[in-house]
Amino acid sequence: MREHLGFLETSSTVVKLAAWVFLVLGITGGVSIMMGLVPTNPRWTGIIVLALYAFFFFFFFLIAKMADLLIKIINEIKKE
């Protein structure tokens, strides 16, 4: 398991970055739909877009935090 620490650290960083990108895109898309900048969609779909992208953000961020926790656990086991 120790040989996979670099992969876990890198993947945790990449997943956190993806989570923030999802949040920014979701906020941008949801707000633009609610402001009426997308004429083909009703304004209430902006709320659905915001909720969906917020869920993706929290899901990916939780996965990254679990990877960070796994790294800490492996480092603690290494000390003993």
- Please name the residues in contact with 16: beta carbons below 8 A apart, sequence gap of 6 or more: 60, 61, 64
Q: What is the pTM of this model?
A: 0.82
Please report the pLDDT score of residue 17 as a whole number. Answer: 96
CA atoms within 13 A on the CB side of 19: 17
User: Tell me: the pLDDT tens digits for 37-78?
Assistant: 988 889 999 999 999 999 999 999 999 999 999 989 988 887
The one-character DSSP state at 38 is S
CB atoms near residue 41 (< 10 Å): 16
d(CA 32, CA 55): 19
